[in-house]
Structure 1
């Protein structure tokens, strides 16, 4: 069984088409705090969130940032936001498209013939990398081999997590692992298959075209342009500024969960390594969807969602760096969900821009498997769904 890395089953369930409950108020601080407290009571060490409803902003936190010292979590903490990085990388690529430096439907071999050689390089386009229809496999199971050594979750080992804690991967090394693995589809095929390899290649595309390190280019042209003060690519294994410890359970294989807040994030690169705050994420997605980061024409391209199979085998709607979420009774939301070792983040913005949620969790892969190896529901799942509904659907239900 393939282990899911970027998005946990429980968190991905938050984007399922679930009708909103009938709640009395769209931005009731007491209800937001109560439902966030419910996530902590269900077993999450710490969670913190920022919810925006029009001009009203609620910031809340519940639980602890350190299970040993009982240091509390706070709403303004920095957090590893995982695959939400992909939206930033995609925005940088779209800016290059606007400038005429990159063509969406050009083969990647036009820009990176040595990195993606042969027929695949000639058939895979920039757009296919952005929307995960390239057919290129995920590199992560091969970078962390102890997690694919055995066929079922109970027999897997987290050994690779500790082995790689301070290992520095080069982007080309990660791409090579993904290209050497069996293809997961034909270029342009439907549905696509989610793979971080695509976004590491896009980072190399940015470097090739601009002559600037991808992380620097994204910082100067996306992060700074959005006015984000607490968002950055890590330059070492530690998170700078106030942050929580990050606990990895690996589906119960690590018991008690282990702290991976100190980790070399080169394994995630331009696909999943960013550090940010929940306020910054709301600001970023708000400006992106308002046409302030890329042009309206580019935004329309980014919102052309196609079916993609996630890393847990569920079908999602994915554009060019944007996850599309339809919630009956609530509307259409754009954003992303991301996870790295010990950290999970959800950031969703409604299409009209008025309702936003960004929430951080400091324990991941909490679902333990049954005898067949399939992760089972946990009280955290239901509590998180209740909070999500209160945070992004309550105003619609009230109307």
Structure 2
């Protein structure tokens, strides 16, 4: 039998992540009709204001799943061809041979070969993700910068390619998703954020999810503390930040409850058609921004397990904040965790992150949330 929720184990695991060094975190875990919500730590290290499980949070690249769903709705309607070249729709943004070769699918699954624009928008991240030479100064310089998505796209498209179109492994790049936002606008005549809000967020009944209209997070939320690999000490609050640098790639604000609702509906075939969901779950190797090789589909990636025991979802980071949302293939077991600290690992002499107690504590929380009270369980029927 599958494990039901173990509230005591979840509370202990959450508290241990806080004690390992995260100022505050909160989560919602579901098993069928059972729901556990919990939080540990503070939302503000200065005032001691407690963190609560209903807070809104910047969810980073989880936005990509929402954007993918919007694109696939247009594929289902016949307005976008999943394997059509992006140059058919956006010839000025991706001109020439690459526009004829890179398909919509390649953008979604990060096999386009287009470079990441972030190191060009944030000059002190020029070596990203090779961390030995970089510093956090650009984060402060651009707190209130309003970026033009077209300019960010141009940075990525004109940068040296990171691979051949369709080549494997792919390389994770936010440039792909800003292009998908422009593609949505081209075929719908609506701003991408507005289209996603109307056709994904509102249709799913997500009341606390939306794109920011300015640098602030509306409603109850935690401060977001960035460490930048030990270079910012003490951690600095980046909760007030203009998210135009991320747009439909990573700017969304949500709650852990809304994320579980969204991914539950997605895996039940209620956001996109089952045939589109099957496309989302076709995975291949992609090199993440941290330099790890992960399996990635169309805006979804698997976490662990196989067949019906596979968990599907997405993670996301912003400056100071991290989120992970995972739902088992049958939709019954779900986890969404949000935390107010990022890049806590210090670097060794080669510029590579060193282990930190937060890593082990967070892994235990994920195990307890996904598989029950025993963190060594694997999620298969017993």
What TM-score do the two structures reach when normalised by structure 2?
0.95
Displacement after TM superposition at 1:397 (Å): 7.0
Alignment match, 2:193: 215
- 1:349 and 2:310 are equivalent in the alignment: no
User: Matched residues in 2 for 1:138 and 1:152: separation?
Assistant: 13
Task: Report matched runs for 1:300-379 at 5 Å.
Answer: 300-327=278-305, 331-379=309-357
Displacement after TM superposition at 1:329 (Å): 11
Deviating more after overlay: 161-170 vs 274-283: 161-170
Deviating more after overlay: 207-216 vs 308-317: 308-317
What TM-score do the two structures reach when normalised by structure 1?
0.91
Q: Deviations over 1:252-295 (max 9, x none)?
A: 11110100000000000110000000000000000011011111
Contact 1:232 / 1:276 at 8 angstroms: preserved in 2?
yes
What SS is found at the alignment partner of 2:310?
A: strand
User: Matched residues in 2 for 1:284 and 1:132: separation?
Assistant: 22
Deviating more after overlay: 265-274 vs 157-166: 157-166
What SS is found at the alignment partner of 1:338?
A: strand
What SS is found at the alignment partner of 2:45?
A: coil
Displacement after TM superposition at 1:323 (Å): 1.0
Q: Deviations over 1:70-125 (max 9, x none)?
A: 10100000000000000000000000001110000110011001111111101000
What SS is found at the alignment partner of 1:96?
A: helix
Q: Deviations over 1:291-350 (max 9, x none)?
A: 111111111111111111111221111111111222479931110010010110000001
Task: Report matched runs for 1:213-292 at 5 Å.
Answer: 213-292=191-270
Contact 2:118 / 2:125 at 8 angstroms: preserved in 1?
no
User: Matched residues in 2 for 1:152 and 1:194: separation?
Assistant: 14
Task: Mark the runs of 5 or more structure 2 residues left unpaired by the alignment.
Answer: 374-378
Two-structure CA RMSD over aligned residues (Å) = 1.8
Q: Of 7, 10, 16, which aligns to 1:38?
A: 16
- 1:139 and 2:120 are equivalent in the alignment: no
What SS is found at the alignment partner of 1:292?
A: coil
What SS is found at the alignment partner of 2:208?
A: coil
User: Matched residues in 2 for 1:108 and 1:151: separation?
Assistant: 27
Alignment match, 1:93: 71
The number of aligned residues is 377
Q: Deviations over 1:338-388 (max 9, x none)?
A: 001011000000111110000001000000011222110100000001111
Q: Of 282, 297, 320, which aligns to 2:275?
A: 297
User: CA separation of 1:125/1:25 partners in 2, compared to 1, >3 Å: closer, same or farther?
Assistant: closer
Alignment match, 1:10: none
Alignment match, 1:66: 44
User: Matched residues in 1 for 2:308 and 2:224: separation?
Assistant: 31
Contact 2:227 / 2:341 at 8 angstroms: preserved in 1?
yes
